[in-house]
Amino acid sequence: MARTAVGIDIGGTGIKGAIVDLDSGELLSDRIKKSTPEGGEPDAIVAVVKQIVDELGLDDASLPVGVCFPAAIMDGKTLSAANVSKKWIGFEAEKLFETTLGRNIHFVNDADAAGYAETRFGAAKGVKGLVIMTTLGTGIGTALINDGVLIVNAELGHLEIGGKDYETKASFAAKERDDLSWKHWAKRLQKYYSHLEALLYPRLIIVGGGVSKHHDEFLPLLDLRAEIVPAALRNNAGIMGAAALAADSNPAF
């Protein structure tokens, strides 16, 4: 039998979940997706996560469950809040999820989950040196992986460039908000990724998020020292990574 775990990916606009085969990274169930409640407050988001878990029909209470979220996370607390309610800042989030779901979970930053999935199953598998995972969506999420080891809570989407938190200029949401062409958006991405390269000198940059399926429209327009590639797992990376991290953190599994 395949080793399995559940991954839940919470974003600023949508919440997704599925059962994951931990050996292949494939989804063993339909991917259930629901809209993130307006305002993104804790009780409302946790209620949607419970709906998804219930719809997945998890009979085995020992099955690892990973939940990824757009915030820096330490000791189960959300220390920041990107594109969700500010009520999450300093909030005992993991405790609320576990109480509501009636089971233990592994709680992790969403970009960290995506980066871990790409390292285990996708574009960063077997890559030595520093890899930077970026997710372009409502904001910009980032993950650092060095020689296959995840370095958690790298909030590099919030780099200040030209006096601005640059995710407000270069995220996919900013492209849509400002009605930018691919070419114009790529100029903003060039400024962001060049700044990132000047700070960290990665060997590989991976671009994820839903827009990665249109990578041929903008990645060829970028001129960088490092290789830059689309995420192999596309928009399922968060689900896969959350599930894999939940299993890997469970010594009994």
Q: Which CATH architecture has domain 126-232?
A: 2-Layer Sandwich (3.30)
3-state SS, one letter per residue, for the chain? CCCEEEEEEECCCEEEEEEEECCCCCECCCCEEEECCCCCCHHHHHHHHHHHHHHHCCCCCCCCEEEEECCCEECCEECCCCCCCHHHCCECHHHHHHHHHCCCCEEEEHHHHHHHHHHHHCCCCCCCCEEEEEEECCCEEEEEEECCEEECCCCHHHCEECCEECHHHHCHHHHHHCCCCHHHHHHHHHHHHHHHHHHHCCCEEEEECHHHHHHHHCHHHCCCCCEEEECCCHHHHHHHHHHHHHHHCCCCC
Domain map of the chain by residue range?
4-112+236-248, 126-232
Which pTM does this prediction carry?
A: 0.90
In this predicted model, what pLDDT tens digit does every residue of 130-167 receive, in sequence order? 999 999 988 899 999 999 999 999 999 999 999 999 99
Reply yes or no on whether the pLDDT at 37 is more than 90: yes
Question: pLDDT per residue over 177-196, tens digit each?
Answer: 999 999 999 999 999 999 99
Q: Do domains 4-112+236-248 and 126-232 have the same CATH topology?
A: yes
CATH number assigned to the domain covering 4-112+236-248? 3.30.420.40
Grade residue 81 by pLDDT with cuts at 50, 70 and 90. Answer: confident
User: What was the pLDDT predicted at 12?
Assistant: 84
pLDDT of residue 226: 97
